[in-house]
Structure 1
Amino acid sequence: MSNFKELGVTNVFVKSLKEIGVKVPTEIQKLTIPVLLNSDIDLVGLAQTGTGKTAAFGLPILQKIDPSSSNIQALILAPTRELVQQIKKQLFKFTKYSDDKIFVEAVFGGEKIDRQIKALKRTTHVVVATPGRLIDLIERGEIDIKNIKTLVLDEADEMLSMGFKQDLNRILKYTNGKRNTWLFSATMPEEIKKIIKTYMSADAKRIEVNKNSLVNENITHLYIKTSISEKLNLLIKLLENRQRERGIIFCRTKAGTQKVAKLLKEEGFSAEALEGDMQQKERDKVMRAFKNKSLQVLISTDVSARGIDVHNLSFVIHHQLPENNEYYTHRSGRTARAGKTGVSIALILPNEVSKIKELQKELGISFKEINA
C-alpha cells in the first residue's frame, strides 16, 4: 500500500497530511493504521523514535473519536513535556480539515496546574499527558479516565527508565478493563514485558519494524580510539569539520556536560548544555535556540535528552559510551529521523573496543573504525 487513503485514512485527514508534507506512509504506519482502524485490539509496537509513530496511533485515535460525546475517549502517555507538546501539536495539525471539532488537551509538569484544570473543564476528547502530572489531576478529581476507549503508552521503555513505573501501574489501574492499550517501545526490557503481561490481552497484536536492526538503518556507526587527555581536542576537530551541521554530544554525567559545554564555548562554538537541574524555562530557551538553528550543538546526558525530537540533525557524538547498551539506541536515534541519514561517532578508550563488539552483537549493527 502506497498511500494513506489505501490504509483506510479518511479524506479530511489525508488532506491535512498532504498539507504538512506527509504523503507516503512509513513502515510502522503501513503496518499499524489498517489494523487499528478495523479492529478493537491491544497492540505492541516495537519501533524507534522518529519512525512516524505519532501518525500510526494518532490517525486511528482521531478517526474513532465520537465528537458528539464530551467524554475523554483516548489517553496518550509520553515520558516528557516536549514529547507531549509535540504529539498534541501533530494531532491538532491532523484535524485541520475535520468537520467535527475534536478537542485535544496536553497536561504535563512545569506549567501551572490551575491552567490545565481550567482547560480540562472544556470538552476534551483526547488527553496527552506525562504520568506524574496526570496522577496529580486524577487525585484532585479534575480528570476522569475511567471511560477511555484507547490508552497509548508511547516510548514506554523511556517512561520506565525515567522512574515512572509506579505511576504507570496506578494509571493503568484507574482505567477500566474495557479499553484497548497500544504500547510503543524502542526496546523490550523485562519491565515492559511485565506491563504487557499484566495489563494487556494475551492475544495483543505485535508489530516490529526493522526486526533485524533495533537501530535505525540510515545511521552510519563509527568509532575513534583516543585517550582521556586527547578527547577534547578530538571533539573540537570533529566539530570544526562539521561547522554547517547540527548535532548532539552525549556525556554520562551532568558535570561532564557542563565541562564540555564550557570548553566548547571558550573555543568559539555555538554550544549549550542540557541537564537535569535546569529550570524548565531555561531548558525551553535552549531547546528553542536549538530548534530554530541559532544553536549548533547540544551537550546532554541520557536523561536530559529524553523526548528531544529535532529534525535534520546530522550527527550524534558519544563523548563517552552509555552505561546501558539500550541507551545507545536512544542516543543514536536522535539523528537520521524521518528518512534522513546521519552519523553516530563514539570516542572510545583502547580498553572499550570490547564494548563496541558487544553493541554490534546486541543491536545488530556494524561499526567502522576511523581516524580523526
Structure 2
Amino acid sequence: MKFDTYHISSAIKKNLSGLGFKRPTDIQYKAIPSIMKGEDVLAIAQTGTGKTAAFAIPIIDKIHRAKSSKRSQGIKCIILVPTRELASQIGSVFDDFSKHTKVKIFAVYGGVEQDPQIKKLANGIDVLVATPGRMFDLISQGAISLKQVDILVLDEADQMLDLGFINDIKSIKRKLFKKHQTLFFSATINKQIKKLAFSQVKSSAIRIQISPEDPVSKNVSHFVMFVEMDDKRFFLRRFISDNPEARIIVFVRTRVRAERVAKALERGDIKASTLHGEKDQKERTEVMSLFKQGKINIMIATDVSARGIDIPNVHYVINYDLPEKSENYVHRVGRTGRGVQKGIAISFCSKEEKERLEDIQQFLNKKIQTIPVSKKEYTYTLSLSNEIQSIQELIQEQEDWEKRKKKRKKKK
C-alpha cells in the first residue's frame, strides 16, 4: 500500500512525496487508520521505524480538514515529550508534513526566553509540542488554553510516565474534552509503566506492538569489546582515527565524563563536540545543528540525546559507558540504522560493567557479538596512544619554549 492511496489531503501527499515517503512502515500502516478514526492508541515500536510520522500524518490531516470545513480556533493537539531536543525535532517534522495546509505548529521548551513563545502562542496555533515544565509554566500564566484540545499525545511515553508526570497528565486530561483522543508512543515499556499507560486510555484503545521480541531495528549490528575503564579513551581514539570519515555518536554516563573524553580526544588531535544538560539551550541547539549538517563528525553525549532524535547517516554509536538502565541501550543505538539505513553499535565493557552487559543482553533477548582483542592488539593500541601523547607533549614543550623566548625579548 502506498501513501498515494490513503484518504488524506493532497497537500500532505505532496509533502510526503517530496520528503521521499512512498510506503508506510509497519507502525504507520497499523496506527494511521485507527488515529484517523479517533481511537485511542498505545503503540510500541522499535527506534527508527517512523513513529513520529505515524501520529503526525493523521493528526495534521484531521486538523486540516476541520479548518477547511469550518472556522477553528485554539490548540487542537498537544504533544508532550521528555526533552528539549525532541520537542524541537518533532516540531520540525510537523512543519515538513504540514506545508501547504492550514495547520500551524509550535514547539515550546525550557532554556530559552518565554516572551517570544507567549507572543507566538497569542497569534494562534493548532498543534503544540512541549516539554512538561515549560508547558505548565505557560498554562499557569494563561498563555496556553486547553479548552479546544481534543488530542493528547505522549511521545517516549515510558520515560514521561517514569519521570513522574502521571499526576500532571491526569490533571491535563481532566481539563480536556470528555471525548478527547489519547495516543501513547514509545520504543520500550515495562509492565509497571504499561499498566499506568493503560489506565489513561479508553478500554477500547488499540494496542500495537511491533517486533516485541526484538526492541532494536534489524538494521543495527551489535558488538562489544572488553576494555578496562582507564583504557577506553585509547581505544576510542584509535577507532576514530581508523574511521576518519565516519559520523559517530559516543554515549557516556555523565556530563563530566563527556568533557573529559572530549579533552582526551583533543590531545590526540581529534575534534569532538559535547551535548549534555550542563550546556545552555543555545549551545545544545548549535551542537545538534552542526552534527546534523555534517559540519562535525564526532558528538559525545549523555542520554539527553538518546531519546527519539533523528539524525541522518550516523554510521556508528559507541557506548563508551554502558547505560545503567537496559532500555536506554535501545534508545542509544537507535540513533543509527534508522529507516532503511544500516548502522553499527559498539560497546566498550569494563570488568565493572559486565553485570550491566548481562542485563542488556537479557533485555534484547540475544547475545551481543564480541570483538576479540588479543594481548598484542591491546598493547599496540596503548602504545599508539602513548606515542600520540608523547608527540603532543613535545609540541606543548616547543610552544612553551617559544612563549618564554618572546617574554625574554620583551623584557630586553
TM-score bin (small chain): over 0.9
Q: SS of the residue aligned with 1:138?
A: helix
Deviation of 1:301 (Å)? 1.5
Residue 42 of structure 2: aligned partner: 44
C-alpha offsets along residues 21-51 of structure 1, whole Å, 9 cap, x if unaligned?
22121111111112222x2211001023322
TM alignment of 1:109-120, pairs within 5 A: 109-120=110-121
**In the aligned structure 1, how far is the partner of 2:279 from the partner of 2:27?**
35
Q: Which runs of 5+ in 2 are unaligned?
A: 374-412
C-alpha offsets along residues 293-346 of structure 1, whole Å, 9 cap, x if unaligned?
121111112235445321110111111211111111111111111221111111
**In the aligned structure 2, how far is the partner of 1:229 from the partner of 1:92?**
45
Deviation of 1:247 (Å)? 1.2
**In the aligned structure 1, how far is the partner of 2:115 from the partner of 2:284?**
22
Q: SS of the residue aligned with 1:303?
A: helix
**In the aligned structure 2, how far is the partner of 1:105 from the partner of 1:280?**
17
Deviation of 1:161 (Å)? 4.8
**In the aligned structure 2, how far is the partner of 1:35 from the partner of 1:130?**
26
Higher helix share: 2
Q: Which runs of 5+ in 1 are unaligned?
A: none
**In the aligned structure 1, how far is the partner of 2:369 from the partner of 2:201?**
41
Residues 28 and 56, structure 1, Cα contact 8 Å, conserved in 2? yes
Q: 1:165 to 1:303 in 2, by over 3 A?
A: farther
Residues 7 and 34, structure 1, Cα contact 8 Å, conserved in 2? no
Residue 300 of structure 2: aligned partner: 299
Q: 1:194 to 1:139 in 2, by over 3 A?
A: farther
Count of residue correspondences: 368
Residue 84 of structure 1: aligned partner: 87
Deviation of 1:71 (Å)? 2.5
RMSD: 2.0
**In the aligned structure 1, how far is the partner of 2:266 from the partner of 2:165?**
35
In terms of Rg, which structure is larger? Answer: 2
Deviation of 1:215 (Å)? 1.1
Residues 81 and 130, structure 1, Cα contact 8 Å, conserved in 2? yes
Q: SS of the residue aligned with 1:106?
A: strand
TM alignment of 1:184-333, pairs within 5 A: 184-190=185-191, 192-333=193-334
Deviation of 1:69 (Å)? 0.8
Residue 403 of structure 2: aligned partner: none
**In the aligned structure 2, how far is the partner of 1:207 from the partner of 1:239?**
39
Residues 45 and 186, structure 2, Cα contact 8 Å, conserved in 1? yes
Matched, 1:94 2:94: no
Give me the identity figure in percent: 39
Residue 7 of structure 2: aligned partner: 8
Residues 78 and 153, structure 1, Cα contact 8 Å, conserved in 2? yes
**In the aligned structure 1, how far is the partner of 2:80 from the partner of 2:113?**
19
Residue 26 of structure 2: aligned partner: 27
Q: 1:129 to 1:154 in 2, by over 3 A?
A: same
Q: 1:247 to 1:173 in 2, by over 3 A?
A: farther
Deviation of 1:270 (Å)? 2.2
Q: 1:191 to 1:109 in 2, by over 3 A?
A: farther
**In the aligned structure 2, how far is the partner of 1:352 from the partner of 1:132?**
34
Residues 40 and 206, structure 2, Cα contact 8 Å, conserved in 1? yes
Deviation of 1:167 (Å)? 3.7
Deviation of 1:60 (Å)? 0.8
Q: SS of the residue aligned with 1:199?
A: coil
Residues 146 and 176, structure 2, Cα contact 8 Å, conserved in 1? yes
Q: 1:33 to 1:107 in 2, by over 3 A?
A: same
Residues 152 and 183, structure 2, Cα contact 8 Å, conserved in 1? yes
Residue 56 of structure 1: aligned partner: 54
Deviation of 1:147 (Å)? 2.9
Deviates more, 1:258-267 or 1:46-55: 46-55
Residues 7 and 33, structure 1, Cα contact 8 Å, conserved in 2? no
**In the aligned structure 1, how far is the partner of 2:194 from the partner of 2:368?**
29
**In the aligned structure 2, how far is the partner of 1:356 from the partner of 1:227?**
14
**In the aligned structure 2, how far is the partner of 1:223 from the partner of 1:60?**
40
